[in-house]
Structure 1
Amino acid sequence: MGTSSAPLAGVRIIESSMLGPAAITTSLADLGAEVIKIESPQGDYIRQMTWPIVEGVSLMHLHVNRGKRSLVLDLRTPEGVQTYLDLVRDADVVIEAMRPGGLERRGLGYDQLREVNPKIVFCTISGYGMTGPYAELPSHGVAYDVWAGLVKPETTEDGFAAIPEHPSMGIHAGPLFGALGVLAGVIKARATGEGCRLEVAQSDAAAAMDWYRSESWKAYERPESEVTGNASDGYVRRAPGTAGMRDGVRYQFYEASDGGHVLLQASEREFWENFCRGIDRPELFEANPGAKFADHAVGNVALRTQLKEIFLTRTAREWVDLGLEINVPIINVNTPQTLADDPQFQARFPWIPAERLGCEQQPSPIKYLDVEVPVPTKAPTVGQHTDEVLAEVLGYDAERIAALREAGALG
């Protein structure tokens, strides 16, 4: 439950979810929304999925379902369906985080929900969406990134194709786009009295997050008389998207003296001049002033060789400190393992302790300067809050709850 002053205090969300798409409400719960996770008597098997398993429960469950309450309803029973409708009556949002149509098959589709609450915002989040030839195709997280062209197979020493280590895009971006759409729907509903229905595909989200690469390729389908490269490149087309960074010099990785690496991003002339003068090498700037903006000095092997030698004279940390001192964008290269030791991470992402959430977790990256947000509560066990929610939210007394349990509606 959120604090009364939290940004989303007073927003109630009824969530029917399985596995990772439940992350659509994680950020909303972090900001104070009340999220009631409706589970079947068997529960969401996310608790056994992926690794690591922390004291018998998956890290994925502990993270994506933090801050939520769990209520068990058997939607195969009419009593379970009626109780769901009672919850929707005063809710703002219903989330269907599973294959599209799951709720409709149980008599709880958008049309039925609108009959009890015309202001309801109904959001379906799924793998490949509600339309298209892949709509019914089962999937898991990395599929969306593979489909969107973000992850390429590696070949092992034994000659097998293998999934490389990679950041997960679709499984995280999809829920964030969904949360944005849901909040827009709630604003509309509260202003007009009319709810809405929306859907988000995690595959679409992966493609949308990588729009620069795909749109670059599309732009280059047009003739060079219409679409060129940068002025700093003499208008010659670089490789599309981020591939055009590969041969940069003023915008590039360099090894430091401690074996770590830093990323230099002195593509603006101002930053490049600051760098050269800051290391007492003004002749580098005078010989290679470059363009005012967006100049990576692509292909300047001589300059790249000089910079390679220069960066080997200081540690990665010393280069970042120098960047701060002389106003040049330089940052050290982290891994997911070393990130937690980075002073910037430690200053902005204090771990929520395992004693609170079952394992150490990062807080929300959204930081309000003058509004209190709740500290998330531990992800629930199956049906942990069933009686509590029915009593507090719906006002059911003990006799009615007992009758529901007798009818099998509560599992």
Structure 2
Amino acid sequence: MTDDAPVGSRLLAGLRVVECSMLGPGAVSTPLADLGADVIKVEPPGGDYIREMSWPIVQGDSLLHLHISRGKNSIVLDLRTQAGREIFLELVAGADVVIEAMRPGGLDRRGLGFGRLTEVNPRVVLFTITGYGMTGPYRDLPSHGIAYDAWAGTVAPVPGPEGLPSIPDHTSIGITAGPLYGTAAILAAVLRARETGAGCHLEVAQSDAAAAFDWLRSEGHRAHERPADEVTGNPSDGLERRPPGTAGMADGVRYQFYASADGHVLFMASEQKFWKNFCSAVGRDDLYEARPGAHLADHARGDLWLRRELADVFRQRTTAAWIELGLAHDVPIGPVNTPATIAADPQFGERMPWQCAERLGADQLPFPVRVVGEQPPAANAKAPAPGEHAEEILRDLLGYDDARIEALRTAGVLGTA
């Protein structure tokens, strides 16, 4: 709906999404907007308080809002009023998807549940994203993002001030994986709805998504509970049953972190051919002759002599020099970045060009999937102010005239935005 020139691939041009969201769960429609969908964010009177949550605050708006709401159009509707609900249903009548990103049953309590939506649009896909899902004992438990990672076992407390437990720096999985799983399901449901004429109601819990994203560790624990004659280790370890989790990789040698001359690298020569390539490239064929290892999946676990030898070798070159060696001699060696340093990495610069603050209010990362030969998909507008596009939506989509729009505004149906 925005008049801004499209940026990058617009794979979902023609897909219309009506979103009712509060805070982070609204991220489910961000990839859709990045890919060209028309996303209409329906906000309550006063707007979504996402603009004031978390940090940093960039020129009055939270980065959380600037990122999650980029490329969307905003209208404020008081869904407690009959007129507000009627406008909402008019929007739904022309939409492919309705996103409910709040506590379970939020739309249903306003008389706008799935049954009512299908009365005006039988093909509509309703997608509900919540913290703990629409069922289960935690259904109505209030929560925020880290709760889902803690529940899923992906983040644990660390010692803080005076030995008190503290939240560590970590990757936020649930609030990211939930929307991404949701996006895939939404598009699958839209395809089916266009084929059959019947929509459906999807739901995802961000806690479930965090657990599913970390499937290898939880499934590894489950497998470890099975009898020893059913589940073993790798042949390179003599079929030793390793403990779940990192499966002994903390003691790995040929698959391990090493300090370089100016930082760290991750060495990953667990295949014999890569190990041989490395030893030859650094002029240490003696290491290969002394420790040739197994053909596959051999980390030389627990070999402290070899680990010390490799530590001395890796300290002799910079990280960039090790990457050059890896490219030249077919050796898997990777740089070790942090959120503060990754922007300087040449691979990052090539693959993840910043979406600039001049356009979006803050420098932001692009959608990471691209069409070969085209510019990467990107948001085409800054995150909106509450109700910023109300008149445009009502006039251009629903055909309201100025007098009707003004009457709605006077009545408070459009809030005070």
Range class of TM-score, shorter chain:
over 0.9
**How many Å apart are 1:30 and its aligned residue?**
0.3
Give me the whole-angstrom Cα distance separating, in 1, the residues matched to 2:373 and 2:16: 23
Give the SS at the match of 1:187: helix
Do the aligned residues in 2 keep the contact of 1:7 with 1:371 (CA within 8 Å)? no
1:375-390 equivalences in 2 (<5 Å): 375-390=379-394
The residue correspondences of 1:7-406 to structure 2 (distance < 5 A) are: 7-258=11-262, 260-370=263-373, 373-406=377-410
Please report how far the alpha carbon of residue 61 of structure 1 lies from its aligned counterpart in structure 2 after TM superposition. 0.2
5+ long unaligned stretches in structure 2: none
Q: Secondary structure at 1:254's aligned position in 2?
A: strand
- Shift of the 128–290 alpha-carbon distance from structure 1 to 2, 3 Å rule, reads same
Q: 1:399 Cα deviation (Å)?
A: 2.2
| Paired residue type of 1:369 | V
Counterpart-to-counterpart distance in 2, 1:199 and 1:401:
34
Q: Per-residue deviation at 1:392?
A: 1.3
Q: CA deviation at 1:375?
A: 4.0
The amino acid across from 1:231 in the alignment is: P
Secondary structure of residue in 2 paired with 1:401:
helix
Q: Report deviation, 1:185.
A: 0.5
Q: 1:28 and 1:18 mapped to 2: Cα distance?
A: 17
Cα distance in 2 for residues equivalent to 1:217 and 1:252: 22
**Separation (CA, whole Å) in 2 of partners of 1:392 and 1:293:** 62
Q: Give the counterpart letter for 1:276 in structure 2.
A: C
Cα deviation for residue 291 of structure 1 reads: 1.6
Give the secondary-structure state (helix, strand or coil) at the position aligned to 2:204. strand
Q: Distance in 2 between matches of 1:58 and 1:143?
A: 21
Q: TM-score, normalised by structure 2?
A: 0.96
Q: Distance in 1 between matches of 2:187 and 2:404?
A: 34
Question: Tell me, what secondary structure is at the counterpart of 2:64?
Answer: helix
SS of residue paired to 2:246: helix
Cα RMSD over matched residues? Answer: 1.4
1:273 deviates by 1.1
Q: Does the 8 Å contact 2:178/2:206 carry over to 1?
A: yes
Q: Assess if the C-alpha contact under 8 Å between 1:70 and 1:384 holds in 2.
A: yes
Amino acid at match of 2:52: Q
> What CA deviation, in whole Å up to 9, does each residue of 1:174-217 have, x standing for no partner?
11011111111111111111111110100001101111001111
Q: TM-score, normalised by structure 1?
A: 0.97
Residue type of the alignment partner of 1:27? P
CA distance in 2, matches of 1:91, 1:251: 50
8 A contact 1:274–1:327 mirrored in 2: yes
Percent identity, aligned pairs only, is 60
Worse-superposed segment, 209-218 or 389-398? 389-398
> In the TM superposition, what is the alpha-carbon distance from 1:350 to its structure 2 partner?
1.4
Contact 1:250 1:295 in 2 (8 A): yes
Shift of 1:151: 0.9
Deviation of 1:123 after TM superposition, in Å, equals 0.4
User: SS of 1:286's equivalent?
Assistant: helix
Question: How many Å separate the matches in 2 of 1:404 and 1:157?
Answer: 54
The more displaced of 106-115 and 301-310 is: 301-310
Q: Answer whether contact 1:316 1:332 (CA < 8 A) is retained.
A: yes
SS in 2 for 1:128: coil
SS in 1 for 2:163: coil
Q: Deviations over 1:134-184 (max 9, x none)?
A: 010001011111111111111124121111111111111111011111111
CA contact (8 A) 1:77 1:408 kept: no
After superposition, give the CA deviation of every residue in 1:307-356 in whole Å (9 maximum; x if it has no partner).
11111111111111111111111111111000111111111111111110
SS at match of 1:47: helix
Q: Deviations over 1:77-100 (max 9, x none)?
A: 100000000000010000000111
The 8 Å contact of residues 252 and 264 in structure 1, kept in 2 or not, is answered as: yes
Q: Compute the displacement of 1:370 (Å).
A: 4.1
Letter in 1 for 2:70: R
Give the partner amino acid of 1:329. Answer: P
Task: Give the conservation status (yes or no) of the 8 Å contact 1:173–1:206.
Answer: yes
